[in-house]
Chains A and B, each alone.
Chain A
Amino acid sequence: AQTVTQSQPEMSVQEAETVTLSCTYDTSESDYYLFWYKQPPSRQMILVIRQEAYKQQNATENRFSVNFQKAAKSFSLKISDSQLGDAAMYFCAYKSRADKLIFGTGTRLQVFP
């Protein structure tokens, strides 16, 4: 069975600095997708970034980028120029093509002014 592991329960960063959130996963499949979702106190799960496993190039969305290491089954999220509004729970998630989305346990990110 596929699993997703987030080993950092909490992280903190100063405004304007860079922070990296870690995620590892376990799968025997070769075709899958990886996601980072943000969940603020409002509970709404918001998609931050998506990576398709067959693409070697790391995905980037403005200040958010990933470091996808397929062989190591690692998928970290880098947030550059952190803003107060980035404070939230961040969930790493895995999905094979026709299957359910599997989440990690989350990392709480605090941003200090």
Chain B
Amino acid sequence: GAGVSQTPSNKVTEKGKYVELRCDPISGHTALYWYRQSLGQGPEFLIYFQGTGAADDSGLPNDRFFAVRPEGSVSTLKIQRTERGDSAVYLCASSRSGGSGANVLTFGAGSRLTVL
């Protein structure tokens, strides 16, 4: 697609529920990133995919968070047993691999998660 698409735009859920957030990167971008942005803060890195594999998942806060990218395009961030502290905007970004363009991330508009 022309840009990075994230769905849903907003998600309200109850504490303890399971949530999936989806990211559709720019066509041809092999690198995909997930970030979490709490209110009034800068984005915090969660996980980075190069193709289908997670190249760096050091930012995932605990084992309730998991992300997949099975075909090297669309990615899903999965949060189990949600807690109120998980409330944030979840941003996805993608970039090309190789060359100077590899270092320019294009972001989606984010998914705002609210856990009641």
Could you tell me which A residues sit within 8 Å of B by CB distance?
Answer: 4, 6, 33, 35, 37, 42-47, 50, 52, 91, 95, 97, 99-106
| Neighbouring B residues of A106 by C-beta, 8 Å | 40-42
Contact yes or no, B41 A91, CB < 8 A: no
Could you tell me which B residues sit within 8 Å of A by CB distance?
Answer: 33, 35, 40-45, 48, 56, 59, 89, 91, 93, 100, 102-110, 112
Contact of B33 among A6, A37, A52, A101 (CB under 8 A): A101
Contact yes or no, B45 A42, CB < 8 A: no
Q: Which residue of A lies closest to B110 (CB)?
A: A43
Contact of A97 among B56, B59, B103, B112 (CB under 8 A): B103
Whole-angstrom distance between the Cβ of B88 and the nearest chain A Cβ: 11
| Neighbouring B residues of A52 by C-beta, 8 Å | 100
Contact yes or no, B42 A44, CB < 8 A: no
In the bound assembly, the distance between CA atoms of A91 and B109 in angstroms comes to: 15
Contact of A95 among B42, B44, B103, B112 (CB under 8 A): B103
Contact yes or no, A100 B42, CB < 8 A: no
Contact of B42 among A42, A50, A91, A99 (CB under 8 A): A91
Contact yes or no, B103 A102, CB < 8 A: no
Contact yes or no, B89 A43, CB < 8 A: yes
Contact yes or no, B42 A33, CB < 8 A: no
Whole-angstrom distance between the Cβ of A22 and the nearest chain B Cβ: 15
Whole-angstrom distance between the Cβ of A45 and the nearest chain B Cβ: 4
Contact yes or no, A101 B41, CB < 8 A: no
Contact yes or no, B109 A44, CB < 8 A: yes
17 more contacts with CB within 8 A, not counting A44-B108, A50-B104, A101-B45, are A6-B42, A37-B107, A43-B109, A43-B112, A44-B109, A46-B107, A47-B105, A91-B43, A95-B105, A100-B48, A100-B59, A101-B93, A101-B105, A102-B45, A103-B35, A103-B43, A105-B42
